[in-house]
Structure 1
Amino acid sequence: MRSFTDLEAWKKSRALRNNIYTLVKSFPNEEKYRLTDQIVRSSRSIGNNIAEGHGRFHYADEAKFMLNARGSAAETIDHLIIALDLGFIDKITFDKFDAECNECMRLINGYINYLRTQKTNH
């Protein structure tokens, strides 16, 4: 694989990040430096960690960043739960974004498993 942009996990995280940007435009202005900032940061962090990990030399280093990416996806879900609880999004919207985050985590888990196999084989 030549670039992190070839990874399906990164592609999915990019789509999620872009969808989050659109979503938070509807959040109240008073949340700009609170929930809005937090959810944007956590959704950015998914792809950022995938990219940074891909640039690492060793499989174990890359896997650690993939674990961080997975954690950021889970953090994004938690921020979405807060948005749901505060009435900024409805259940249908939450379910859509929750599914996107879980798809990111599924792809990241698959890549982590691949990296662990590569580590074992080398």
Structure 2
Amino acid sequence: MSKVERFEDLIAWQKARILTKEIYLITQQGGFARDFGLSGQIQRAAVSIMSNIAEGFERTHLGEFHQFLAIAKSSCAELRSQLYVALDVGYIEQVKFNQLINQAEEVAKIIGGLRISVSRQKNQNNLASNAK
């Protein structure tokens, strides 16, 4: 497995990018495109996922990265909640809703796994520092 050197190498960020593109495409159609409030909010939530992954990765301390991943994961939940609104008001069909919900859940799970990994690495670094 190759070393992750850039945030673009993170699978979580790559999947969040794809999800964001899908959200932008769906919000530019039909009634969704005319609902500036909901379409803007769901777009911001999607962008927040990938942006927080990127910003956290570039931070100096693992604790900061962990916190930004928590925010990114929370944005996944926000996006999922907004997808329910879009479904309920008829902006998206059930099939598209299911696809986007599944993508958002997958991104959240990947971020969750990355958070665990970062937490372990942070704890190992703390133990090594305390042993000195």
TM-score, normalised by the number of residues in structure 2: 0.89
Percent identity for Structure 1 against Structure 2: 33
Mapped to 2, the partners of 1:30 and 1:14 lie a distance apart of 24
Which amino acid in the other structure matches residue 67 of structure 1? A
Q: Specify every segment of 5 or more residues in structure 1 that has no aligned partner in the other structure, as ranges.
A: none
> How big is the shift at 1:27?
3.9
The answer to whether structure 1 residue 9 and structure 2 residue 12 are counterparts is yes
Which amino acid in the other structure matches residue 35 of structure 2? E
Larger-Rg structure? 2
Does the CA-based 8 Å contact 1:27-1:36 persist in structure 2?
A: no
Deviations 1:33-82 (CA, angstroms, capped at 9, x unpaired): x1110010000000000000001111111000000000111101011000
> How big is the shift at 1:16?
0.2
Match of 2:103 in 1: 100
Match of 1:86 in 2: 89
The equivalences for 1:1-122 within 5 A come to 1-28=4-31, 29-32=33-36, 34-122=37-125
Which amino acid in the other structure matches residue 62 of structure 1? F
Mapped to 1, the partners of 2:117 and 2:89 lie a distance apart of 39
Corresponding residue SS for 1:21: helix
Which amino acid in the other structure matches residue 57 of structure 1? T
Mapped to 2, the partners of 1:90 and 1:41 lie a distance apart of 21
Corresponding residue SS for 1:120: helix
Mapped to 2, the partners of 1:41 and 1:59 lie a distance apart of 25
> How big is the shift at 1:30?
3.3
Which amino acid in the other structure matches residue 119 of structure 1? K
Cα RMSD after superposing both structures: 0.9
Does the CA-based 8 Å contact 1:21-1:40 persist in structure 2?
A: yes
Give the total of aligned pairs: 121
Q: Specify every segment of 5 or more residues in structure 2 that has no aligned partner in the other structure, as ranges.
A: 126-132
TM-score, normalised by the number of residues in structure 1: 0.96
Mapped to 2, the partners of 1:21 and 1:84 lie a distance apart of 16
Mapped to 2, the partners of 1:120 and 1:17 lie a distance apart of 32
